[in-house]
Amino acid sequence: MDNNKVVETLNRILELELAGVVRYMHYSFMIFGHNRIPIVSWLRGQADESLAHAVLAGENITALGGHPSLHIGSLLETHKHNVDEILNEAVEHEEEGLAEYRKLLEMVAGSSIMLEEYARAQIAAEEMHLAEIRKMMRKPGSIK
């Protein structure tokens, strides 16, 4: 296992998760209409989850003797703020993070049970999260 490459990947994960905190909080401010309260609550929960994931990535970086990045992943303002557009952007962001977790798993498989289990748990969480978002994007009655 190449510790430097693992730390680089963990730092990309850290940056993506921190971007998720900012992104989901921003989205929560931009929700209007009669469904605002549950959607804002869900988005802020996603921000909290991203922060928890960032903490785990940072702790793993320092456990390997690395230095956690102070950067944040890209925060492109698209000015698209209806719920469907927000959910589409969330899917893109989550898929990017999922790809990094999968890359991490490949790097550590067979070398570090701790990092392997961490990567697997994060992959499972991200896959579940993506499935939830995709369900939210479906229209009622889409199952026949």
pTM passes above 0.85: yes
**Domain total in the chain:** 1
CA distances from 36 to 28, 31, 68, 79, 110 (A): 9, 6, 35, 18, 46
In a domain, 142, yes or no: no
Domain that holds residue 24: 3-137
Q: Which CATH number belongs to the domain containing residue 124 in this structure?
A: 1.20.1260.10
pLDDT digit string, tens, across residues 124-144? 999 999 999 999 998 887 776
Helix (H, G, I), strand (E, B) or coil at 111: coil
pLDDT digit string, tens, across residues 8-38? 999 999 999 999 999 999 999 999 999 899 9
In a domain, 143, yes or no: no
In a domain, 144, yes or no: no
